[in-house]
Amino acid sequence: MNIAFIGLGNMGAPMAANLIKAGHAVTGFDTQARPEGVTMAASAADAAQGADVVITMLPNGAILRAVADQVIPAMRPGAVLCDCSTVDVDSAKAVAQQAEAAGLGALDAPVSGGVGGAAGGTLTFMVGGADAAFDTVKPLFDVMGQKAVHCGAAGAGQSAKICNNMILGVTMIATCEAFALADKLGLDRQKMFDVVSTSSGYSWTMNAYTPAPGVGAKSPADNGYKPGFAAELMLKDLRLSQQAAESADADTPMGQLAAALYERFVETEGGKGMDFSAMLPRFEKRGRG
């Protein structure tokens, strides 16, 4: 396929590289990045002209809307706009409506798997949009990732990502709290892990991404909490979850509290630039008050 890729940062560049390795022609645009191997265009609109699929990987919904305004008029009828950013549900739906009104297919397809998954082609895509558009882009999802789940209509991909990461943020906090409590109770961390990891406290954050160094799965905790998934990205996703909850009139007290804790951690407690599991040393330093 002829593909335009808009947004070639830490995630977009390796995703585009995997498409090129698979034999697709990729024309890219980014305001700063110039990744090797991608034919760069002078503008997002120039990149989109003649493309079968335009893929975007952008920081937020406002930038997505601005890019959509540029690329949608330049795209050929029947092409598909596939946004892989993590943005608010309202922006995803608005861009999809704009694209469909112009005779285009549209997908919101945020990813899970981080920079490592982007480089290794092992991302998971959570996809919202029409069946025909999903079928068109599915071969590209298969190149860039290991799984693509068609979650429903426009906005459903973002909804799935937001719900998943709200669970992730809440669960990581609970896991870190438990390790810090175990320390203060004099319980050996390895013994606690041996019990919890095979009991009802089992979770992905305990078993697959253990926040305690030297215990359980190898994780960023074993590398000085250098980010696999940065705390500020978790904060972004938790804020999106609460924006969606407000819009949908959903009661999410744990998600709300997790967002507040990560906000404090990132903005006033030095957590920016650290992995989201660095909540454990945060709790280690704190007492009950």
Q: What is the pLDDT along the chain (289 residues), one digit of tens a residue?
A: 999 999 999 999 999 999 999 999 999 999 998 988 899 999 999 999 999 999 999 999 999 999 999 999 999 999 999 999 999 999 999 999 999 999 999 999 999 998 889 999 999 999 999 999 999 999 999 999 999 999 999 999 999 999 999 999 999 999 999 999 999 999 999 999 999 999 999 999 999 999 999 999 999 999 999 998 999 999 999 999 999 999 999 999 999 999 999 999 999 999 999 999 999 999 999 998 7
Is 193 within 8 Å of 205 (Cβ atoms)? no
Please report the pLDDT score of residue 208 as a whole number.
96
If 0-12 CB within 10 Å is exposed, 13-18 middle and 19+ buried, where does residue 217 land?
middle
Question: The tokens 């008029």 sit on which residue?
Answer: 73
- Give the Cβ contact number of residue 185 at 10 Å: 8
Residue 248 contacts by C-beta under 8 Å, 6 or more apart in sequence? none
Name the strand (E) or helix (H) holding 28: strand 25-29
Distance CA 6, CA 166 (A): 27
Please report the pLDDT score of residue 114 as a whole number.
87
Distance CA 97, CA 13 (A): 27
Please report the pLDDT score of residue 36 as a whole number.
84
Selection from 158, 277, 273, 173 nearest residue 217 by Cα: 277
List the end-to-end C-alpha distance of the chain, in Å, as a whole number: 59
Beta bridge partners, 108, equal: 83, 128
Please report the pLDDT score of residue 268 as a whole number.
97
Q: Nearest 5 degrees, angle CA 10-CA 12-CA 18?
A: 110
Alpha-carbon distance values, 243 to 39, 86, 98, 233, 270 (Å): 37, 13, 22, 15, 25
- Helical spans, DSSP H, in 22-155: 44-48, 61-71, 89-101, 114-120, 131-144
Please tell me which residue in 161, 184, 226, 272 is annotated as part of the active site.
161
Distance CA 151, CA 153 (A): 7
Tell me the residue type at 160.
Answer: A
- Helical spans, DSSP H, in 185-230: 189-196, 204-207
**Buried b / exposed e across 42-60, counting CB within 10 Å, b at 16+?**
eebbbbbbebbbbbbbbee
Please report the pLDDT score of residue 289 as a whole number.
73
| Residue 191 annotated among the catalytic residues of the structure | no
